[in-house]
Amino acid sequence: MIPEYYEFACPTKIISGFKALSNLPYEMSLLGAARALVVTDQGVAGAGLIKRVHAVFEGADGVIGAVYDETPVDSGSEAVRAVADAYRGHECDCLVAVGGGSCIDTAKGALIVLAEDSADLKAYQGAERFNKPTCPFIVVPTTAGTGSEATLAAVIRDEATRTKMALTSYRLFPDVAILDPKMTVTMPPHITAATGMDALTHAVEAYCSLQKNPMSDAFSQAAIRLIMRHLIDCVRNGGDEQARLAMANAALFAGISFSNAMIGVVHALAHACGGVCRIPHGVANAVLLPWGMEYNAGKAGDALAALGPVLGADATVTGAIGAVRDLRARLGELCGLPETLGAAGVEAEQLDAIARVAIDDGSVTYNPEDVTYDDALGILKNAL
Amino acid sequence: MGYRAKKAVVAASLLALSTAFETVSKRSPEMRAEIARWNDGRAFAMGVLPRGPAITMRNEGGRLRYAGPGYHDPDVKILFKNVDNALLPLTGRIGADIAFVQHRAALHGEVAHGMQTSRALAIVQTYLLPGFILRRTFKRPPRLSARQWFLKAWVMGTLPFGMAVNFAKR
């Protein structure tokens, strides 16, 4: 059924395939750029992936002006300012984020700082608050989960207030997303599993969201099929480039879907678990997804049942939830992915704080069922 | 309905909301619990872009006070993109959640503060809107206790006087 109203946007050019990274200098030239600031982190650099990026500039007109590899695990306002300073100091004319969600979001924050010539990101919290043209922005993801390479959102920690700032703007869509399986093959199995479950959660929650629409539904279904077919292969054999490319596409599709349909209670709780207990986002999503599906079964039963066959089960709510639980159990056997919050390191005494933070998360708005403090606490207790 | 008429309806609806926020924050335990954790002086505004009607409410000692029409240094703004988009939720045709879901409104400011404002708005709507609208626009329509029914009658009964007082503040 067509919703009575919806909007959809994905202006990002997608380049997917083997040796796709080689096109980076050419894509820069199409955007009128010749001197890139690469935004990455120590893990990506240590895995030798920045060497690959350097290599593709041999014989090209464009150059790498500088590499910023100090991005923290949670992108923060200080890193954003440092990236903006490096961009100006090295006279760069485009940003190239090479990494996971933190690197990409740090680069998005720098886009705002550079466009607005203001280091006060707090002034841009919320939706559609800045509209100035940004510099060319290319993303090369090295994980397959966040989907940030195709979203309009960034989450950046404000070190001064120790809170997370959510920023959304159509100006934050990357110009180009380059998916090259060589850039994700170094991911270890447990991170592959957690980020893959993050992508699955994006796709499922977007499919059940109040903001779902036919376009986002199509991307969600495509993402879920790829994840169910290839995530286990990636965890079993990280060097399987076909599976890696499929998962990179799955994460991208899920990102496009949730950037337009948004997410729900699972993400609200997972964000809160991350903030209160420092539980990795993908792990929290993996634990909470079946419980969130159960919680929403009353209001989103039709959508969940329709996902059953997409998930490889029968067309029922219990089939869909069972398929997710089965996948998570297999990942647990293969690489130790936790199946409960307790196994992930959450203490019972922390549930109250998590629930209080979760109901202030914007994702709750898009969840089909209302989420009160008591509701959030109930889901957390089930998942403990 | 022409633009001026729509603008007048939106302005009257916002004025009614401002009055209801004041009354409910004074008398409702649910609302007082919701705003108990707000900083004193925290303000939010609701208005219509680009230059339509707007109101600002401010937390003063655990009660919400009408700070006047327009934007008075709010921490959070709920901005409807045009007068048609404002009419739908303010006249009870869609819920506040759906206004965001359908991109009819944008939040400027910290999201957590926006969510707290949204919950406060839902509490006020519980007392301001008739049951058939609540059943259509709320994800989980509230079931009112006898005390809440009494407060609803009080809110409705005092609304005209409160609106007149707040109208005089312009």
The percent of residues above 90 in pLDDT, for chain A, comes to: 91
* CA pair distance A10, A255, nearest whole angstrom: 10
- Specify which residues B59 forms β-bridges with: B64
For A129, the closest of B108, B119, B138 (CB atoms) is B108
Closest CA to A362 of A167, A208, A92: A167
Closest CA to A382 of A335, A325, A309: A325
Domains detected in chain A: 13-182 (3.40.50.1970), 188-383 (1.20.1090.10)
A370·B108 Cβ contact <8 A: no
Query: Residue A323 is which amino acid?
Result: A
Task: Write the CA distances from B57 to A182, B29, B97, integer angstroms.
Answer: 54, 19, 20
Tell me, what's the pLDDT at A321?
A: 98
* CA pair distance A312, A149, nearest whole angstrom: 27
| Positive or negative: CA dihedral A326, A331, A333, A339 | negative
CB contacts, 8 Å: A364 with chain B = 115
State which residue of chain A sits closest to B98, comparing Cα positions. A210
* CA pair distance A45, B61, nearest whole angstrom: 52
> Phi first, then psi: what are they for B91, rounded to 5°?
-105, 10
Tens of pLDDT, residues A321-376: 999 999 999 999 999 999 999 999 999 999 999 999 999 999 999 999 999 999 99
B166 assigned to some structural domain: no
Tens of pLDDT, residues B74-88: 999 999 999 999 999
| Cα of A361 to nearest chain B Cα, Å | 6
* CA pair distance B168, B82, nearest whole angstrom: 26
Query: Residue A144 is which amino acid?
Result: A
- Note whether A161 contacts B: Cβ–Cβ < 8 A: no
State which residue of chain B sits closest to A272, comparing Cα positions. B112
* Residue range A238-265: mean pLDDT, rounded: 97
- Binned at pLDDT 50, 70 and 90, residue A73 comes out as confident
A365·B103 Cβ contact <8 A: no
Query: Residue A287 is which amino acid?
Result: V
| Cα of B52 to nearest chain A Cα, Å | 18
* CA pair distance A209, A189, nearest whole angstrom: 30
| Cα of A341 to nearest chain B Cα, Å | 24
Tell me, what's the pLDDT at A144?
A: 96
Are the beta carbons of A254 and A204 closer than 8 angstroms? Answer: no
By residue range, what is the domain housing residue B83?
A: 3-160
Q: What is the dihedral of CA A82, A88, A89, A95, to 10 degrees?
A: 70
State which residue of chain B sits closest to A6, comparing Cα positions. B102
Q: Is residue B170 pLDDT above 80, yes or no?
A: no
B139·A299 Cβ contact <8 A: yes
Query: In this structure, what CATH number is given to the domain that contains residue B151?
Result: 3.30.1050.10
- Note whether A359 contacts B: Cβ–Cβ < 8 A: yes
- Note whether A153 contacts B: Cβ–Cβ < 8 A: no
A85: left (phi over 0), alpha (psi -120 to 50) or beta: alpha
Q: Give the mean pLDDT of chain B.
A: 94
Sorted by sequence, the CB contacts under 8 Å of residue A228 that are 6+ apart come out as A310, A311, A312, A323, A327
B4, two tokens = 């001026």
Number of Cβ pairs < 8 A linking chain A and chain B: 62
B101·A211 Cβ contact <8 A: yes
B98·A364 Cβ contact <8 A: no
Closest CA to A53 of A104, A101, A96, A100: A96
- Note whether A368 contacts B: Cβ–Cβ < 8 A: yes
Are the beta carbons of A157 and A165 closer than 8 angstroms? Answer: yes
A369·B118 Cβ contact <8 A: no
B107·A362 Cβ contact <8 A: yes
Tens of pLDDT, residues B25-66: 999 999 999 999 999 999 999 999 999 999 999 999 999 999
Instruction: Give the containing element (helix H, strand E) for B20.
Output: helix B3-27
- Binned at pLDDT 50, 70 and 90, residue A74 comes out as confident
B139·A368 Cβ contact <8 A: yes
Task: For tokens 């607005």, name the residue.
Answer: A116
Instruction: Give the containing element (helix H, strand E) for A283.
Output: helix A281-310
- Binned at pLDDT 50, 70 and 90, residue A145 comes out as very high
B97·A360 Cβ contact <8 A: no
> Phi first, then psi: what are they for A330, rounded to 5°?
-65, -40
- Note whether B112 contacts A: Cβ–Cβ < 8 A: yes
* CA pair distance A364, A262, nearest whole angstrom: 10
Tell me, what's the pLDDT at A120?
A: 87
> Phi first, then psi: what are they for A366, rounded to 5°?
-90, -5
B31 assigned to some structural domain: yes
| Positive or negative: CA dihedral A199, A377, A168, A67 | negative
Are the beta carbons of A101 and A58 closer than 8 angstroms? Answer: no
- Note whether B168 contacts A: Cβ–Cβ < 8 A: no
Q: What is the dihedral of CA A81, A82, A84, A88, to 10 degrees?
A: 140
B36 assigned to some structural domain: yes
**Intra-chain end-to-end CA distance of chain A, in Å:** 37
CB contacts, 8 Å: B100 with chain A = 365-366
B16 assigned to some structural domain: yes
CB contacts, 8 Å: B97 with chain A = 210, 365
- Note whether B111 contacts A: Cβ–Cβ < 8 A: yes
- Binned at pLDDT 50, 70 and 90, residue A131 comes out as confident
Q: Is residue A128 pLDDT above 90, yes or no?
A: no
* CA pair distance A317, A311, nearest whole angstrom: 11
- Note whether A128 contacts B: Cβ–Cβ < 8 A: yes
Domain count, chain B: 1
* CA pair distance A214, A2, nearest whole angstrom: 7
For A125, the closest of B110, B115, B118 (CB atoms) is B110
The helix/strand/coil state of B164 is: helix
- Note whether B138 contacts A: Cβ–Cβ < 8 A: yes
Tell me, what's the pLDDT at B30?
A: 95
B169, two tokens = 């503040």
* CA pair distance A357, A302, nearest whole angstrom: 29
| Residue A277 exposed, middle or buried by CB count within 10 Å (0-12, 13-18, 19+) | middle
CB atoms within 10 A of CB A74: 19
Sorted by sequence, the CB contacts under 8 Å of residue B143 that are 6+ apart come out as none
Tell me, what's the pLDDT at A163?
A: 78
A126·B111 Cβ contact <8 A: yes
Closest CA to A289 of A262, A270, A273: A270
B142, two tokens = 């509230």
